[in-house]
Amino acid sequence: MNPDEFDLEDQLRQALQPKRAPAGFASKVMARTRAKQPWHQNWNGAITLAMVAGLVMAVVIPVTLASRRQEDRAIEARNQLITALGITKIQIRQVNEKISQRIKRNRPAL
Amino acid sequence: MKTTLIFLFTALTAFAQQGFDIKSLDRLGTNAKESTNITLEGDTLKLASSMLANNKDPASLKGMVDKLHGIYVRSFEFEETGKYNQADLEPLKTWLGNQGWTRIVDVKEKKEFTQIWLHTAEGKARGLAVIAAEPKQVTVVYIDGALSMEDIGKLSGNFGIPDMTFKNDGKKLKPESKKEE
């Protein structure tokens, strides 16, 4: 065998031998990868959060408004009911007074 | 011909049994200085009832209101006399009479009258109507629904109204004036 071939074989073995990565290599790579991420990927989380918040608001606000409107309607209806019963009361009282006055007028003097 | 007559009679009977259109009284208030129009029925009445105190006190309004189908009030006040036509009340009076309501109170004075009508079925009150016409004011109250004698007592007494008890003699309900002291 040619001595040059031995030499080449050694060189190849040496070149192909696995080498340990220098300390901090992985974190450096990760940092560089993060730095090179496009802007929209960085904003994804914020956009998702905003969308969720928007959805929640879109549900909560109408429900709150509807609830408040229902409460206003109930108060208005209650007030109308009290007014209606109050008017009924006044009318019955007036007719009662008229009947009483008539009874007094028609009562024979003793 | 016979079929047509039967159909016509059925249609007229059905029409007569329909509720009175309280809105037809709104024209009474055309020249009114002040108006009160209250229509409480169905969900609105339930909503109003839901706002009343929910207690088991027999004097509470809620128990009474829950049994009602509707409360209708039209009250109009005028600046001068002659601003409304008392004849506009006639359709209501006629309707009440035709529907078997009993006029339990009818007080007439110079240019005014007050009537209280009661609708009874199976010995129980099913409705109350008050028609009060004065020269400068006209009021109609129409309460549709089951009312016990206690409920009517509440309407006439528990709101600070002088007692007005009703005596059931088996056929008609008559007002019984409170004894003079």
d(CA B90, CA B72): 17
Torsion of CA A32, A34, A37, A40, to 10 degrees: -160
> pLDDT digit string (tens) for B83-109?
999 899 999 999 999 999 999 999 998
Compute the nearest-CA separation of A97 from chain B (Å).
Answer: 8
Strand ranges, E, within B62-155:
68-77, 102-109, 112-121, 124-134, 137-147
Q: Does the beta carbon of B75 lie under 8 angstroms from any beta carbon of chain A?
A: yes
pLDDT at residue B173 greater than cutoff 80: no
Across the interface, do B48 and A78 touch by the CB < 8 Å criterion? yes
Across the interface, do A74 and B61 touch by the CB < 8 Å criterion? no
Q: Does the interface predicted TM-score (ipTM) exceed 0.85?
A: no
Closest CA to A90 of B174, B75, B149: B75
* Contacts with B52 from chain A: Cβ below 8 Å: 78, 81
Query: Would you call A22 helix, strand, or coil by DSSP?
Result: coil
d(CA A102, CA B46): 40
Q: What are phi and psi of B145, to 5 degrees?
A: 145, 175
pLDDT score recorded for residue A45: 82
pLDDT at residue A2 greater than cutoff 70: no
Across the interface, do B44 and A96 touch by the CB < 8 Å criterion? no
> pLDDT digit string (tens) for A71-108?
899 889 988 988 888 888 888 888 888 888 888 887 77
pLDDT score recorded for residue B6: 52
d(CA B67, CA B72): 15
> pLDDT digit string (tens) for A24-66?
888 888 888 777 666 666 677 888 899 999 999 999 998 999 9
Q: What are phi and psi of A37, to 5 degrees?
A: -65, 140
Question: How many C-beta atoms surround the C-beta of residue B60 within 10 A?
Answer: 15
Decide: B112 and B135 in contact? Cβ < 8 Å. Answer: yes
What one-character-per-residue DSSP string does A50-61 give? HHHHHHHHHHHH
Annotate A69-92 with b (16+ C-beta within 10 A) or e (fewer).
eeeeebeebbebbebbbebbbbbb
Average pLDDT over residues B118-137: 91
Look up residue B117 and give its two tokens.
């009508």
Question: How many C-beta atoms surround the C-beta of residue B22 within 10 A?
Answer: 19
Across the interface, do A87 and B48 touch by the CB < 8 Å criterion? no
Q: Does the beta carbon of B157 lie under 8 angstroms from any beta carbon of chain A?
A: no
